[in-house]
Amino acid sequence: MRYCRKVTRTLWFVAIVLSGEAAWLQAAEPPAPARTVRIIGRKSVTVTTPEIRLAEIASVSSSRSSDDDIIIGLQKIVIDPAPTPGKSDTISAARVLERLREEGIELRQVGYSLPRLITVKRASRTLGYEEVKAAIEASLVGSGRDVSLREVDYRKSLEIAPGQAEIEVAPLEGIRPGQCLFGLTVKVEGQPEARLRVKATLDEWREIPVAARQIGRGSVIGAQDVRMARLNLGEVPQDAAVDIQQVVGFETGHSIGDGEVFRSAKLALPPVISAGSSVMIVYRSRFMEASAAVTAMESGAAGQRIKVRNDSSKKSVMGIVLEPGLVRVSE
């Protein structure tokens, strides 16, 4: 009986010791926290901003109101830049988890379920023809020119972010009379700018010189031969003279009808030196200046190069006509 009591006491002591050890182990290794925050990914989404945030590609929730701040912080995490308006891209589940780790999120503390790939499309709208036309027309109003817009060559659609678009217009160059190339900068608040070039057909009216009467070939045009007429530049030849100084004093190479524009192909400066006439040549350098009487071998207008000959030496040189009776040579 005494032996049985001793064994019983020993077993009871061991049980107490083992029980204490188990409690110590439990305290040393606390259980993993409950995953009250859940991230459930979506297979495809449409975004409106330049950045893709977790809130747009996944539902972030919790059954506990105490997790509200955590949820808001998770929703704000930027995963990747968004594609350009109207375009699509994909984000892998691995990329989402990588960004969460980079932001210091302990993944073992949240529950998540993500598709292998998430398709992200950027919301957009098409920049309309009337928007482009109205912007160009507004820019022409302040140009000070007598011009109106006939047609805009805007055939390809530009996708821009949704919202009111502000369009800045800058003329780049004239392709030919009546046509111009415009550079457009399209701005939507909070979005990157979009740029494009648009060709436009214009009706531009201007007073230009025309023949006041029939002018025969070989005539030197005087002021009495010219009148000004308001014409559409898009309807006249590209080489038509637009200023009276481009006409008066020139010689006609062809006959010109009453009311006809003056084309550069039909005009030439009349010769101020005739072939066979006696002229003076001048030679100037840093060290000397000389002149001599020579004979013009060709007719020439001011600014033209002609051949002249020294009658004594029979030597010929080329010179530039300066004015009637005077030619400059360089050798």
Task: State the CATH number of the domain containing residue 295.
Answer: 2.30.30.760
pLDDT of residue 308: 92
Does the residue 252 lie in any domain? Answer: yes
pLDDT of residue 61: 94
Same domain flag for 227 and 249 = yes
Q: Which residues contact 221 (CB under 8 A, 6 or more apart)?
A: 215, 247, 248, 249, 250, 251, 252, 262, 267
Average pLDDT for runs of 10 along the chain of length 331: 43 36 38 76 94 96 91 96 94 96 92 96 93 92 84 87 92 80 92 90 91 92 93 88 89 90 86 88 84 89 87 89 89 64
Same domain flag for 55 and 86 = yes
Does the residue 286 lie in any domain? Answer: yes
Contact 153, 198 (CB under 8 A): yes
Same domain flag for 75 and 23 = no
For 219, other C-beta atoms within 10 Å of its C-beta total 15
Rounded CA Rg of the chain? 45
pLDDT of residue 285: 80
* Rounded-to-integer distance, Cα 319 and Cα 242, Å: 31
Does the residue 212 lie in any domain? Answer: yes
For 303, other C-beta atoms within 10 Å of its C-beta total 10
* Rounded-to-integer distance, Cα 284 and Cα 290, Å: 7
Same domain flag for 79 and 144 = no
Contact 263, 238 (CB under 8 A): no
Does the residue 20 lie in any domain? Answer: yes
Which of 246, 174, 179 is closest to 210 using CA atoms? Answer: 246
Residue 2, classed as helix, strand or coil, is helix
Does the residue 273 lie in any domain? Answer: no
Does the residue 97 lie in any domain? Answer: yes
Residue 152, classed as helix, strand or coil, is strand
Same domain flag for 148 and 224 = no
- Report DSSP state, residue 66: G
Taking the complete model, does pTM exceed 0.75, yes or no? no
* Residue 8 domain boundaries: 1-28
Same domain flag for 140 and 181 = yes
Domain total for the chain? 5
- Of 122, 140, 167, the one marking the end of a domain is 122
Same domain flag for 184 and 217 = no
Does the residue 81 lie in any domain? Answer: yes
- Of 241, 268, 295, the one marking the end of a domain is 268
Contact 272, 300 (CB under 8 A): yes
Same domain flag for 130 and 117 = no
Same domain flag for 44 and 106 = yes
CA 325 to chain centre: 55
Does the residue 301 lie in any domain? Answer: yes
CA distances from 281 to 77, 191, 289, 293 (A): 85, 70, 11, 6
Which of 96, 113, 124, 89 is closest to 37 using CA atoms? Answer: 113
- Of 92, 122, 152, the one marking the end of a domain is 122
Contact 316, 290 (CB under 8 A): no
Q: What is the CATH number of the domain that holds 233?
A: 3.90.1210.10
